[in-house]
Chains A and B, each alone.
Chain A
Amino acid sequence: MIKTDILIIGAGPVGMFAVFEAGLLKLRCHLIDALPQAGGQCSEIYPKKPIYDIPGFPEVMAGELIDNLAEQIKPFEPTYTLGERAETIERLEDNSFVVTTNRGTKHNAPIIFIAGGLGSFEPRKPPIPNIKNYEDNGVEYIIRDPEIYRNKKIVIAGGGDSALDWSIFLTNIASEVTLVHRRNEFRGALDSVEKVSELYKKGKINLITEAEVKEINGDLKVESLLIKHKTKGDIVKETDHFIPLFGLSPKLGPIANWGLEIEKNAIKVNNALDYQTKIPGIFAIGDVNTYPGKLKLILCGFHEATIAVQYAYNIIHPNKRYVMKYTTVNGVTGFDGETKKAEAAVVKSIT
């Protein structure tokens, strides 16, 4: 069981900054995120997009903001459970919580911060009528173990980096790789597009463009696909696996069933005080929360995280007094004891 002071669900910018504010109060944090990397939407959707409303940064790339936050929280040694989704929560007799992920990893903490943004990122499913019947029977939305495709025929659908990169990678594993996309153009990185084009010319990838998978057929498992081509009509393609890679979309998911008050797909919190939810000990910060006047801005999430951490401290240490300290005065002391602070002014007399 992973134990920490504040368990943060969601490793986006707001969850990450909460680590810094908690660290100043000597509280340790552990972060859970469904994505394989920290940064939330900033890393997953728009790392190369500039953000203009982070105070003090006239312009900062979303990916750069995440890199900076990672650097800023380093002294407070955050730990992570990545690529797993927080699934269930239970309260123990000592009032602390146990959060278990979809992979069964258990985490124990007296305080939970939900900083899940719009939810955990889940693969988007193409609207093929019977697709659900074949999930895990030849249809996979995420490639977890490439080995299951060894010497198998596979069809990948999509036109982004993920579809291109996996098509390239799986040519060395699968017996046959077919990439289906609705256009002739691909949205992925130029390198990947060129590589796919090269593999296509060598006959290592079948490319079916201006086409869409419309039907899945097979007895119990995927056996063939009906692909509709824009001009050539229907194509029946025999295959063992169909892997639709159409990107990810956020979904509030299991958190919606944790007994919290949900309004407009977000968690209601007490914004007049501490950003706590209706369950004492569970706070919600950033885009995942709602209250009168809520703005879904990273900078507002930073503020919410800072306030919430102060109250979390009071719950963890009910009898301990402290006052908020300025980093300019005291610097930042990491958990390894090292302090980063301004150099003392030099006093020298003129003789």
Chain B
Amino acid sequence: MEEVDVTIKITDREGVLHEVQAPTDMGMNLMEVIRSFELAPEGTIGICGGMAMCASCQCYIKSEHELPEMGMDEDMMLAEAFYVEDNSRLGCQIPITSELEGLEIEIAPESEVE
């Protein structure tokens, strides 16, 4: 059977590094991978479900991988997110494909609410 997993290195919000095997054939995105491996507490990531409408899945891309271009929704959501850096992306907008083998990311801090 053809190997369809890619290895992704994810640093969680506590600074702990996890190396996970993410499937490329399940239509998953990076936010869903983080959730499926429970690397961020439920209710603190993917709040909008993955519609680029909440920025709770903001990640910093640490490796040089070529990622899909940022769409308007993601760009505008990041314009209102906190702790944004030049390498910020929304995990929900990054589909898991074989090109992502070896991707290294860090989950951005959770934004505080009143």
Contact = CB atoms under 8 A, between A and B. Distances in A.
Nearest to A251: B113
A252 interface: yes
A247 B80 contact: yes
Nearest to B56: A249
A166 to B, nearest CB: 15
B53 A183 contact: no
Interface residues of B, number: 23
B108 to A, nearest CB: 11
Interface string A139-155: 00110000000000000
A246 B79 CA distance: 10
B80 A246 contact: yes
A125 B112 contact: yes
A205 to B, nearest CB: 18
Nearest to A188: B76
A187 B76 contact: yes
Interface residues of A, number: 32
Nearest to B53: A45
A46 interface: yes
A45 B112 contact: no
Interface string B48-61: 11010110100000
B36 interface: no
Contact of B111 (A119, A127, A185, A266): A127
Q: Of A118, A142, A160, A249, which is in contact with the most chain B CB atoms at under 10 Å from its CB?
A: A249
B66 interface: no
B83 interface: yes
Given A159-B79, A182-B79, A249 B111 contact: yes
B42 interface: yes
Interface in A163-219: 181-183, 185, 187
Interface string A109-124: 0000000001100111
A124 B48 contact: no
Contacts of A250: 43, 47
B79 A41 contact: no
Contacts of B42: 264-266
Interface in A237-279: 246-252, 264-266
Interface string A302-330: 00000000000000000000000000000
Interface of B: 41-44, 47-49, 51, 53-54, 56, 76-77, 79-80, 82-84, 109, 111-114
5 contacts: A124-B112, A159-B80, A187-B80, A246-B111, A249-B111
